Amino acid sequence: MNRRSLCADDLEMINKYSDKVYRMAYSLLKNKYDADDIHQEVFIKYISKKPKFESVEHENAWFLRVTINLCKNFWKTAWVRKTVSLEEGLMKEAEPDGKEETEEEQIIETVKMLPQKYRIVIHLYYYEDLSIDEISKVLRMKPSTVRTHLTRARAGLRKLLA
């Protein structure tokens, strides 16, 4: 295996996008260990490919798109489809302990219950502060589709929180 040291530009990009990539991966995978793996894969892909970016927006979109694609590929693996996470298994067996969740924790847990296509647009819109046009470019879908997904996601959240 060929070992390369990271240059200052690589370290700068890792520092710049590390939190954003991890939040996106965690939002989609709902598991910190799997999110760590995807986080690492995104930066390995960046370092190995060395893409040239046209602008900061293109750079941002590239990291989000690669993160989303790696998460989707992760969900397609046979191992993931046939197993239940330890956390899910324990949650099914655990009894309520009387501990109340904060409103923010409750909303985050509720967002995790939404279908993936809705979680993605909610995350990009509210947590990454992207506009509908920017989300449509990142996800390669029409702005009207993004608006529809946001509307349905909000309706789903209201229903689950009620």
From 86, 118, 141, the end of a domain falls on: 86
| CATH number of the domain where residue 127 is located | 1.10.10.10
Q: How far is CA 119 from CA 71, 76, 92, in A?
A: 12, 17, 22
pLDDT tens track for 83-126: 555 445 544 444 455 455 677 777 778 888 888 889 889 888 88
User: Do 58 and 36 belong to one domain?
Assistant: yes
From 22, 54, 86, the end of a domain falls on: 86
From 86, 121, 151, the end of a domain falls on: 86
In a domain, 93, yes or no: no
Model pLDDT, residue 5 = 65
Name the packing angle between helices 143-161 and 103-112 (round to 10°): 120
In a domain, 1, yes or no: no
pLDDT tens track for 19-48: 999 988 988 888 888 899 999 999 999 988
Number of domains making up the chain: 2
pLDDT tens track for 32-90: 888 999 999 999 999 888 888 888 888 889 999 999 999 888 877 755 555 555 445 54
User: Do 81 and 105 belong to one domain?
Assistant: no
- Tell me the residue range of the domain where 131 lies: 100-162
Flag whether the pTM goes above 0.85. Answer: no
Q: How far is CA 101 from CA 32, 45, 104, 107, 150, in A?
A: 19, 37, 8, 10, 25
User: Do 104 and 38 belong to one domain?
Assistant: no
Q: Is 138 helix (H, G, I), strand (E, B) or coil?
A: helix
